[in-house]
Amino acid sequence: MPIGYNIKPVIVPREADILIIGAGANGLEAGAYLAKAGARVVVLEKRLEMGGGLLTEEVCHPGYLHNTHAIYMMMTDYAPVYQDFDVEEQYNVKHIYPPLQFAMPLSDGRAVCIYSDVERTCVNFAQFSKRDADSYRNLAKLSYECVDEFIGPATYAPPLSIIDSVIKMQNTEVGKLVMEYSEKTALEIVEENFENDHIRALMLYTMCHWGVEYDQSGLGFLCLLYLDRAHNYRMVRGGTHVMAQALGKVIHENKGITVNNIRIKRIIVEDGTAKGVELDDGTTVMAKVVISTIDPHQTFLGLIGEDKLEEEFAAKIKGWQWEKYSLCGVHLDMEEAPNFTIAAKDKDLNNAFVYLLGFETEQDVIEEFNAIYNGELLHDKRFNCCFPSVLDPRQAPKGKCTGLISAMAPYDLKNGGKEKWLNYNFRQEYINKSIATLTKYAPNIVRDKILETYISTPMDVENKLSNMVKGGIKQGLYHPLQMGYNRPNDECSSTRTPVKSLYVGGASIYPGGCVIWGPGYNAANAVAEDMGIKKWWKEPEKVTRARELGLL
């Protein structure tokens, strides 16, 4: 062993006030809040690195930073975690807010665009349809009101029962609007408001690609949210993992502990109360409270056991449905940034945050979704993509570029099953077809301009992040029966569970996934209230206002 090379074994604390299973975004968030409140917090993580989906890695060449899972941050202007910890000033977590949010190039050289500025979007839409420009302006205003007064605040407050929610919603105009739109499908919203086929394609995609089926009623409130968020995407400067590092620092600064590379054998339950966990090596960590941020199956069926659960509750857990599709990401180390054909007359079109390639019509989007739901991949690759280093040069060596191609993809392929994703030739064919689509729109990006590629298939997602069963990015299907008060069921959506002193706080819990910072925040609030921990944080003003309006 080299001189001065001293590795001390990791000592897992044997006791804690609060033990958190999983150091993903929500686990770190809950841990940071509660550690700063003075609780003895211990966070146990299976992987060698904390952060969960907040991954920024050098998967190809040194110096090329790739956000291999989450990249689009949608709730930075609502999530309390950013302001409560003053992450920008205290931990140098900066966000980039690109003026051009979405660009969908067309074969005729034009592009349908969504800007952070609603009026700029209207100018773009007017090139295709004056009526659609006016409709977008009105719909953007409506969606903002619904998000600002209810959907946004509700993300950071406990869910109401279905009956209570309906009663409260009917008492306000915003509530009535949210209920009205909730009964619509994404396709109905698009076709009622827009006439141009290109605009319909972009709007349908932005409303659905985070997990809303285009013909599913009951989730229209999410369409309103995603419509509003489509001009509010941010990117973390330096990569999404910077935010995970910040929350880890908060925990450590407040005498909390995070331990990686840990395998948990079981949650210790005595007389219906969670007492701690037992690790694979027999070590026990006892705690007053356990918060699990992993999925319901692992938490209740795997770590507790069906024999320790009430039969009716166990049936609810076993009935949990996983997502119908995952994401397949192709990451690129590139010699240079793409020069899109659409940028010939406007160079700013080379600086979009998200590009939507391979889609031109509403039917193109529908065909893509139908194929995925059927376990199939279309021959021509259609996807969204971004080039982080164009907006944040620190994510690639000087003059070089990083790229992310992200496509919806089934976990179980109709021909070949999930194992086909592990086939080398199939993976290379997928990469090459994806690059071919990119080249069609940015002719300078030929295969020789790509130094290296890295693919993350649905199988790879599950293998890397076991919490994301079947590669699902939200720990479970978005469906009316698995949302709101029923996410994951009516006994756990408040983060409290039938097992005393056991709380849940991952993406499978209300309000859901996609790094919106809701589950971990709500879990921290519930634990603090139940344990009598004095909160150092205040309820967000928008949540308070929503209560005063009678919406929460």
Same domain, 345 and 441: yes
Other Cβ atoms closer than 10 A to 483:
22
Token representation of residue 511: 């309000």
Helix (H) or strand (E) holding 333: strand 326-334
pLDDT for the residue 384: 98
In a domain, 4, yes or no: no
Same domain, 202 and 142: yes
| pLDDT exceeds 90 at position 245 | yes
pLDDT digits (tens, 9 = 90+) for 75-95: 999 999 999 999 999 999 999
Cα→Cα distances 83→200, 225, 541, 547, Å: 36, 21, 12, 20
Same domain, 30 and 122: no
Same domain, 451 and 330: yes
For the chain, give the mean pLDDT. Answer: 96
Same domain, 148 and 163: yes
Same domain, 349 and 433: yes
Q: CA triplet 417, 421, 424: central angle to 5 degrees?
A: 130
| pTM metric for this prediction | 0.96
In a domain, 364, yes or no: yes
Q: CA triplet 212, 551, 508: central angle to 5 degrees?
A: 40
Same domain, 313 and 391: no
Domain boundary among 198, 232, 266: 232
In a domain, 91, yes or no: no
What's the number of domains the chain is made of?
3
Q: Specify the DSSP class assigned to residue 482.
A: G
In a domain, 61, yes or no: no
pLDDT digits (tens, 9 = 90+) for 263-315: 999 999 999 999 999 999 999 999 999 999 999 999 999 999 999 999 999 99
Q: Specify the DSSP class assigned to residue 348.
A: G
| pLDDT exceeds 70 at position 10 | no
Which residues are 270's β-sheet partners? 273
Q: How far is 263 from 260, CA to CA, in rounded Å?
A: 9
| Residue from 206, 178, 203 nearest 192 by CA | 203
Q: How far is 288 from 309, CA to CA, in rounded Å?
A: 20
pLDDT for the residue 5: 46
In a domain, 403, yes or no: yes
Looking at the chain, the whole-number percentage of residues with pLDDT higher than 90 is 96
| Residue from 489, 510, 487 nearest 498 by CA | 489
Q: Sort 374 into a burial class: Cβ within 10 Å, 0-12 / 13-18 / 19+.
A: exposed
235-236 and 284-292 beta bridge pairing: unpaired
pLDDT for the residue 11: 79
Mean pLDDT computed over 132-142: 98
| pLDDT exceeds 70 at position 8 | no
Q: Sort 276 into a burial class: Cβ within 10 Å, 0-12 / 13-18 / 19+.
A: buried
| pLDDT exceeds 50 at position 3 | no
Domain boundary among 232, 261, 281: 232
pLDDT for the residue 440: 97
In a domain, 155, yes or no: yes
Here the CATH number for the domain that contains residue 398 is: 3.90.660
Higher pLDDT, 3 or 224: 224
Domain boundary among 440, 472, 504: 472
100-105 and 354-357 beta bridge pairing: parallel
Per the CB < 8 A criterion, the answer to whether 511 and 119 are in contact is no
Sign of CA dihedral 468, 474, 477, 483: positive
Same domain, 456 and 491: no
Q: How far is CA 131 from the centre of its chain?
A: 33
Token representation of residue 8: 């001390």
Same domain, 468 and 480: no
pLDDT digits (tens, 9 = 90+) for 463-472: 999 889 999 9
- What is the DSSP code string of 143-189? HHHHIIIIIHHHTTSPPPPHHHHHHHHTTSHHHHHHHHHHTS-HHHH
Same domain, 134 and 19: no
- In total, the chain counts a number of residues equal to 552
Q: How far is 517 from 52, CA to CA, in rounded Å?
A: 13
Same domain, 228 and 249: no
Residue bearing tokens 């977590």: 93
Same domain, 354 and 445: yes
pLDDT digits (tens, 9 = 90+) for 376-419: 999 999 999 999 999 999 999 999 999 999 999 999 999 999 99
In a domain, 404, yes or no: yes
pLDDT digits (tens, 9 = 90+) for 492-539: 999 999 999 999 999 999 999 999 999 999 999 999 999 999 999 999
| pLDDT exceeds 80 at position 445 | yes
**184 HSE (CA, 13 A, CB side):** 19
Mean pLDDT computed over 336-353: 97
Write out the residue range of the structural domain in which residue 486 sits: 15-52+238-321+475-548
Q: Sort 281 into a burial class: Cβ within 10 Å, 0-12 / 13-18 / 19+.
A: exposed
In a domain, 389, yes or no: yes
